[in-house]
Structure 1
Amino acid sequence: MLFNSEYNIQFDEIFSQALDLVNSSLNQPEIPYNERLNAALKVLEIGILSSQQKQLNSLLPEVIPSSDISPDPFLQHQETEAIILNPDYVQLDNFLSEEDYQKLLKMTLANQDKFFPSEVINDQSKYRESYILLPQHFVEFHELLTHQILSARPNVMQQLQMSMFLVSHLEMQITAHLHGGYYKIHQDVDAGKAANRRLTYVYYFYQEPKPFYGGDLRLYETKIQDNQSLIQERFNQIEPRNNSIIFFDSRCKHEVLPVYCPSQQFTDGRFTINGWIHG
Structure 2
Amino acid sequence: MRSYILSFSCPDRLGVVARYSSLLADAGAFITEVSNYTDPVTERFFLRCVFDDRALNVTMDTLSQRWQAVADELNATWVLRASDDLPRIVLAVSAQDHCLSALLTKWRAGALPAEIVGVVSNHELSRGLVEWHGLPFYYLPVTKETKPQQEQEILSVFSELDGELLVLARYMQILSDGLCQELAGRAINIHHSFLPGFKGAKPYHRAWERGVKVIGATAHYVTADLDEGPIITQEVRPIDHETTVERMIHLGQDVEANALSQAVRLHCEQRVLLNGQRTVIL
Q: Same fold (TM over 0.5)?
A: no
Q: Give the TM-score normalised by the residue count of structure 1.
A: 0.23
Q: Looking at both structures, which has the greater relative contact order when contacts are Cα pairs under 8 Å and sequence separation is at least 6?
A: 1
Whichever of the two has the greater Rg, that structure is 1
